[in-house]
Structure 1
Amino acid sequence: MENDEHLNGPQADAPLGARTSTSLSANGDGGVAPSSSVRPELVEGRAKGDAHTPERKCILSGAHDAKDNLIRLAISPDGLVLPDIRAKAPGRGAWLGVDRETLDAAQKKGKLKGALARAFKGKPLTIPDDLGQMIETALERAFLDRLGLESRAGTVSVGSDRIGEAARKGRVHLLLHAADAGEDGNRKLDQALRVGSDAEGTDLRGLVLPLPRTILSMALGRENVVHVALTDRAAALRVEHDLSRWRGFIGRKSGAEPRDSSRGLSALTGLKNADGPAAGDDV
């Protein structure tokens, strides 16, 4: 079965997709374990939302998952393989459902080259040596862009006092902390989240991002953003999706410092003039 073909049956083992649709916390195996960082209704909402989503097959693992959970690769007119994070580029696509460690190992061993050759029907291809980094950067950029969009739409709250008040009233659906946020501040907001969510005594808490406050502040166009709260359920689902795809891909590196995102942006720009759709392709 071709990796671009629609699949409508139950999901098989999906190394990345199964993780990203239900969880946010990296585990010791480089995957992502079920998390207490997200209110239960978000997980339920994601499951319902994925029920009729077309599926794709990962070219490396052979596992099937909803295409929204996977990472699409496309080729530029000159044959350069590039990440197409939003799956908008025309032409034939190849789909990945593994984390970066697995991808880098497959590229080093030559398995990625063979899988891409089959996916793109033997077209001449050039695989960037830093493809894994390009994907990671593009996923990080997609998350930050989404957070910025939601902020401009008025669904994001910042500031400890404001977030604490909203959390205690049960209005916070997703709580995020900068990597350099103080433990005491995190603990207070986490407790407010549990109170407002009627989850006292549980381990429900905000998620500590692998991003410092300087990056969050730039993404939101504000000063000294240490904590971020999503106060709209639909917005929280959108942010959680982009965040979990990124963290699912970086796996064990989820605590790493962020890198400059310019490479990811240029990679996406390079796909705008890609070849038109191939017969039988997914776009």
Structure 2
Amino acid sequence: MRTPPNERVGSDIAENADSPVSGSERRCLLSGEVGPRDQMIRLAVSPAGEVLPDPAGKAPGRGAWIMPDRAALETAIADGHFKRALMRAFKGGPAKGDGAGGSLSYSDDLPQAIEMALTRNLLDRLGLELRGGNIVLGSSRIAEQARSGRITLLLHASDSSEDGRKKLDQAWRVGLDAEGSGLRGTVLPLDRDALSVALGRENVVHLGVSGVKDGRDDASRASIRVGQAATRLSRFVGSDPP
């Protein structure tokens, strides 16, 4: 398949070649909207022409980008817009979703596959940050470190109690000198069972991302990494983003 003239850095395709897009930005395959690549979802195309989710954005080969919006993707697949957008972007034959012939293919359950990939990406990131010493678990420890300003990102399981969230949110605001701001932790679209399994701990209901490790202030990077993964998943499934 010939390389499209509008292909950009990293073999990622922007649908409109007339509008400049920076190396840190990508154009949504469906809407044409431009956004930061770390807030979008990459769809990689395998050598066999199969369109697959690539939440880490590191799979080899060509790819396309979409905004994290499951409802929009499902609509685009149902009305044929997704297939047409793939045809335009890759300058190839018709995608063969729904069984039609062509050089590209995608599964009918692509939206579910993307949600599962984004979920795994977030859980893997939390596991990495836990091993790196950047995750704080346990309500009392989180509250203590939050009040001292050492928590840079506060996360709650979807089935956490409102009372538990309020107490930790308040401690977090105190530590950030943000009382009266209404700042609250993020309620993830994942329950305590999913978080507990991913982190290898019992009853993970709340977790904080800490900003200090061995005297080095590297938690801003940790909270950005976790926050980006959580935001994309939350936006894709339609819950409130962090």
Judge same fold: TM > 0.5, yes or no: yes
Partner of 1:109: 79
Q: What TM-score do you get using the length of structure 1 for normalisation?
A: 0.70
Seen in structure 2, the aligned counterparts of structure 1 residues 107 and 91 have a Cα distance that, compared at 3 Å, is: same
TM-score between both structures, scaled by the size of structure 2: 0.81
Aligned amino acid, residue 248 of structure 1:
R
1:102-131 alpha-carbon deviations (Å, 9 max, x no partner): 110010000100111122221501121011
Q: 1:86 to 1:3 in 2, by over 3 A?
A: farther
Q: CA deviation at 1:234?
A: 1.6
2:88 aligned with 1:118, yes or no? Answer: yes
Of the three residues 124, 141, 145, the one matched with 2:120 is 141
Distance 1:143 1:170, change over 3 A: same
Aligned residue type for 2:206: H
Would you say 1:208 and 2:200 are equivalent positions?
no
Q: Which residue of 1 aligns with 2:201?
A: 222
What is the aligned partner in structure 2 of residue 55 from structure 1?
25
Q: Aligned pair 1:247/2:217, yes or no?
A: no
What secondary structure sits across from 2:154 in the alignment? strand
- Alignment CA distance shift 1:3-1:193 (3 Å): farther
- The correspondence of residues 1-283 of structure 1 with structure 2, limited to 5 A, is 4-5=7-8, 53-123=23-93, 124-232=103-211, 233-252=220-239
CA distance in 1, matches of 2:40, 2:184: 27
User: Counterparts of 2:174 and 2:6 in 1: how far apart (Å)?
Assistant: 45
8 Å contact kept, 2:188–2:234: no
4+ long deviations beyond 4 Å? none
Question: How many residues end up aligned between the 2 structures?
Answer: 209
Gaps of 5+ in 1: 7-51, 256-283
Structure 1: how far apart are the matches of 2:106 and 2:68? 17
Q: 1:56-113: per-residue Cα shift (whole Å, max 9, x none)?
A: 2111111112222221112223322111111222222111125110110010000100
Is the CA contact 1:74–1:81 (under 8 Å) kept in the aligned structure 2?
Answer: yes
What does the per-residue CA deviation read over 1:158-188, in whole Å, with 9 as the maximum and x for residues that have no partner? Answer: 0011001001101111111111212221111
Q: Which has the larger radius of gyration?
A: 2
* CA offset digits 1:166-225 (Å, max 9, x no partner): 011011111111112122211111110111111111201111112111111111111111
Cα pair 2:39 2:68 within 8 Å, conserved: no
Amino acid at match of 1:237: I
| Root mean square deviation of aligned Cα | 1.9
Deviation, 1:4, is 3.5
Identity between Structure 1 and Structure 2 (%): 55
Larger RCO (CA within 8 A; separation ≥ 6): 1
